[in-house]
Amino acid sequence: MFLYSLTRWRYIGLIASLLLVLTSLFSIYHYGLIMSIDFTGGTIIDIQMPTLLTISELQSMIQSPLKDSLIIQQGSEEGLWQLIIPINGTMIDPHQLISIVSQQLALPITLLQASVVGPQVGEELFNQGGLALLAASISIMAYLALRFEWRLSLAAIASLIHDTILTFGLLAFLEIKIDLNVVAGLLAVIGYSLNDSIVIADRLRDILKAKPNSNIYLNTDLAIRATFARTLVTAGTTIFIIGCLLVMGGDALYGFSMTMFAGVLTGTWSSVTIASTIQELLGLSPEHYQPKLDLIDDMP
């Protein structure tokens, strides 16, 4: 198994990935996943407030009785902000709330709109988001099983689980709230995570068909080497764009950008260390891609 240098590094990477999964599970258990108001419910008030202060500076100026319940977030445009009160926070009339916040911050505030997300709506959004992730995973697994081979399908799903756990572990460690933008990022990560795995698997299938008597580990190494330049260019350009969005997108897109950034990195890594190695451990061989010939007895 370890006769080839790339094979050796792939299996070392598999061990490293398992350690990262355990670390991420500990991070999720220790820090916990912080659910946003999209899932927990509460009140969102959109306001216009002219200020150059940062969110941390504004948050530190909030005093009782709103100090422990009010959350200030930056809006999609300059000068637009959001005041968020969780469902278990102190519920105050929006006009009264703006009056109190305006006095504490010593800034003029204009009410734009106020919306309430009930706990039942938040629970429904959470359930629908989970079902969307599950449906996407099952559909992809069925497609891969029909398009390639069931061993690749299981290996790709294992790669998806690896990427999802690592992404959630990073979100928990950084204390990033899970909102609908993060769920959208996770759905995009699922598609991207399979991108390199399918490209490598397609190349591996061609090699196995052309070399039915060769070693499976050597063939996998050849497939990875043949697609490495394409993987490097695709991942590099994608990470560059997401990095720009992460730096310049602001707080409104921070959760989505970080989810995509972590997902692209782990997806590229797992295509080599998880998907390409697990299908070997499941017994993939050149015989599985050889055409099956039906023997027809000659009629007398």
Long-range CB contacts for residues 226-231, cutoff 8 Å, separation at least 24: 227/196, 227/199, 227/200, 227/203, 230/199, 231/196, 231/199, 231/268, 231/271
pLDDT of residue 293: 46
pLDDT of residue 169: 92
Residue reference for tokens 């989810």: 259
Mean of the pLDDT values across residues 210-219?
Answer: 79
What pTM value is reported for the model?
0.75
- pLDDT tens track for 262-287: 888 888 888 888 888 888 888 877 66
- The answer to whether residues 8 and 280 touch, using CB atoms and an 8 Å cutoff, is no
- pLDDT tens track for 97-153: 888 888 888 888 888 888 776 655 566 766 776 787 778 777 777 777 777 777 877
- The answer to whether residues 252 and 178 touch, using CB atoms and an 8 Å cutoff, is no
Domains of the chain: 5-35+121-287 (1.20.1640.10), 42-117 (3.30.70.3220)
Q: Model confidence at 91, in pLDDT bands (50, 70, 90)?
A: low
% of the chain beyond a pLDDT of 70: 88
Instruction: Output the average pLDDT for the chain.
Output: 80
Q: Model confidence at 299, in pLDDT bands (50, 70, 90)?
A: very low
- Sheet with 42-48, strands from edge to edge, namely 71-74, 80-86, 42-48, 110-117
Mean of the pLDDT values across residues 39-56?
Answer: 81
